[in-house]
Structure 1
Amino acid sequence: MTFQELQPKVIEILSQNNFTRDEKLKNVCQLLSDTISYYDWVGFYFANHDTQTLHLGPYVGAETDHTVIPFGKGICGQVAVSNENFVVPDVSAQDNYIACSFTVKSEIVVPLFVNGVNIGQIDIDSHVPDPFTEADERFLEFVNQEIAKLF
């Protein structure tokens, strides 16, 4: 399924009134994990600007010990500071990488903005080296723009 074909499915999930926001986010994670072969862990982290930490939100994939990440630490923490997408083709080449599992080979993190404020991010791990393209970035930006409407 192409990213273009996934867009209306994302909108459909997010527009369902009988689910909480977290349930909708988990359903989006499940959709992406199920339909994009190299999206092996899909989840959200949300920022607490007072404590300068990210907190794990809904996700699909292997359990993680990384439920709280300080701003600046790891790929997610760096995105909390930079406010920019971060594509990591090879996690073993990153000095500031927080290893989740030896099976993770690459990662993409795209910030989630609400009214110009970075409130969190979508984080995707892949067991495949270097699978993420600009198309992934644009699609995940679309996903986050739609999610932002829930806040």
Structure 2
Amino acid sequence: MFSVSQYNGTIDENYQLVIKQLKALVEDEPDRIANLSNASALLNQFLEKINWVGFYLFDGKELVLGPFQGLPACVRIPYGKGVCGTAASNGKTMRVEDVNQFPGHIACDAASQSEIVVPIIKEGNLIGVLDIDSPIINRFTETDQHYLEIFVETLLPYI
């Protein structure tokens, strides 16, 4: 059973703890959707000042909404479009300080002001993306990016 932890350490210590929690949640579960669901729930309770966190899964043509926490979202995102589609097509994390300044931003939630998207690539193949939105401009830091990339790497064997 999972119990909410108090994240009272440094940002590095807190991220290291949440990554340990992720591993404990997914290591004995073979179901991909269950693991993605718990991963999004874990990040939702850990991260402050966010309004959406979840996954879009690549079906070979476009990104399709997967497990998430937040308001209802766009169901399909074209490959190469918006922040999610761009991160998927270039295979690199995108940290957008102000989504209103991002050409072609897809506004699923008008409250979102900044966004980070981490591509999920397994054995050279795009699986999908981890997408996190915040109602605050410039919410995501290099430290967030570093640890969210480790979070995705930790999740990879279980999806």
Which among 1, 4, 10 is matched to residue 22 of structure 2? 10
Which among 42, 54, 60 is matched to residue 31 of structure 1? 42
The equivalent residue for 2:70 is 61
The equivalent residue for 2:3 is none
Q: Is the 8 A contact 2:84 2:117 kept in 1?
A: yes
The reply to whether residue 91 of structure 1 matches residue 69 of structure 2 is no
1:40 Cα shift? 2.0
| Alignment partners' CA distance in 1, 2:102 and 2:39 | 28
The equivalent residue for 2:80 is 72
Which among 96, 114, 130 is matched to residue 106 of structure 1? 114
1:21 Cα shift? 2.0
Code of the residue aligned with 1:108 in structure 2: it is I
Identical pairs, percent: 33
The equivalent residue for 1:138 is 146
Q: CA RMSD in A?
A: 1.3
The gaps in structure 2 that reach 5 residues or longer are 1-6, 8-13
The gaps in structure 1 that reach 5 residues or longer are none
Bigger drift between 130-139 and 105-114 goes to: 130-139
Q: Is the 8 A contact 1:113 1:144 kept in 2?
A: no
| Alignment partners' CA distance in 1, 2:88 and 2:27 | 27
1:38 Cα shift? 2.1
| Alignment partners' CA distance in 2, 1:21 and 1:81 | 22
Which among 21, 31, 35 is matched to residue 20 of structure 1? 31
| Alignment partners' CA distance in 1, 2:53 and 2:130 | 7
Structure 2 length normalisation: TM-score?
0.87
The reply to whether residue 125 of structure 1 matches residue 133 of structure 2 is yes
1:55 Cα shift? 0.8
Q: Is the 8 A contact 1:105 1:129 kept in 2?
A: yes
Provide Cα deviations, 1:42-80, integer angstroms capped at 9, x if missing partner: 11111122xx2111111111111x111111111111112
The equivalent residue for 1:81 is 89
The equivalent residue for 2:54 is 43
Provide Cα deviations, 1:17-59, integer angstroms capped at 9, x if missing partner: 3x7321221111111111211232111111122xx21111111
Code of the residue aligned with 2:66 in structure 1: it is G
Structure 1 length normalisation: TM-score?
0.91
Between the two proteins, the alignment pairs up a number of residues equal to 147
Structure 1 stretches (4+) deviating beyond 6 angstroms? none
